[in-house]
Amino acid sequence: MRILVCAAMAALLLSVPIADSMGFMPESGPSPWLGSEFRPVVGHWSEYQMTPKGEKPMTMRIAIVGKEGDDYWYETVMVLEGQEKMITKKLVSGDPDNDENVKRMIMKSGDEPATEMPVQMMKMMGPDGGLPQMMMQGEEEPEVEEPEAKPVDLGVASVTVPAGTFKAHHWQFVTKEEAVDAWVSEKVRPHGLVRMAAKDFEMVLIGHGDDAKSLITETPQKMSMPNIKMPGMPSMPGQ
């Protein structure tokens, strides 16, 4: 059971909001999908190369691989050189970065069987997909309010990336720490991002299309809620 729980946490860590903690996003800046909006169409996909300064590049493929009612299956595949491919597949009712929109979540690491995480566990992980607060040990550190990014509209510009040349809307997001530039095109789905650049990080589109199929084809195993009990805390839901 401990292995399954660790696998679940690892899969969540590989979602976009947590990529910054792995060194794949600017330390102080907005979401990688800044300047764009979530526009899902079944079959559409986009693939990116993310390169932190001084680190090996990582590839990330985002795809809309199905639909159930008004909800969409949103699949993320992340590959770092020397590590197993990590796949997360989420059924979402809106912006996939908002946990409130996630109805189901399936994970697959390398050749391991696909596993579906209980909704209760997803909610435990919190809005950032991190460890539950009650599992954190030591004294609580005061929350530091991150500087609000101020968007600057720099108009439409031509930008060339490995996937081609696009006429894209150029946005710049400025914080006290740095400026983050993003180029967004409506021709790229589901998020529109063509390129993002910061002081120590770059993310570029390397491919896109409309023929996406899910890489998780087997029926996922159901993961049971772990019986995690901390001193002074009740057992987890479902126990």
58-81 per-position pLDDT tens digit: 999 999 999 999 999 999 999 987
pTM of the predicted structure, to 2 decimals: 0.74
Residue entry with tokens 């720099």? 154
Give residue 22's pLDDT band: very low, low, confident or very high (50, 70, 90). very low
pLDDT at position 228, please?
A: 52
CA–CA gap between residue 207 and residue 166 (Å, rounded) = 12
Above 70 in pLDDT, residue 168? yes
Above 60 in pLDDT, residue 16? no
The CB-side HSE value for 100 (13 A sphere, CA atoms) comes to 0
Least confident of 33-47, 97-111, 153-167, 208-222: 33-47
Average pLDDT value for the chain? 77
pLDDT digits (tens, 9 = 90+) for 93-125: 998 888 889 999 999 999 999 999 887 776 666
Reported as type and span, the H/E element at residue 4 is: helix 2-13
Above 60 in pLDDT, residue 167? yes
Pick the more confident residue, 229 or 96: 96
CA–CA gap between residue 121 and residue 108 (Å, rounded) = 16
Among 80, 86, 96, smallest CA distance to 38 is for 96
Question: If phi over 0 gives left and psi between -120 and 50 gives alpha, with beta otherwise, what is residue 111?
Answer: alpha
Above 70 in pLDDT, residue 184? yes
pLDDT at position 97, please?
A: 85
Least confident of 1-15, 44-58, 77-91, 105-119: 1-15
Bridge partners of 174, per DSSP, are 150, 179
Q: Strands 150-161 and 102-109: what pairing?
A: unpaired
Pick the more confident residue, 3 or 159: 159
CA–CA gap between residue 206 and residue 135 (Å, rounded) = 39
Above 60 in pLDDT, residue 143? no
* Number of Cβ within a 10 Å radius of residue 67: 13
pLDDT at position 66, please?
A: 96
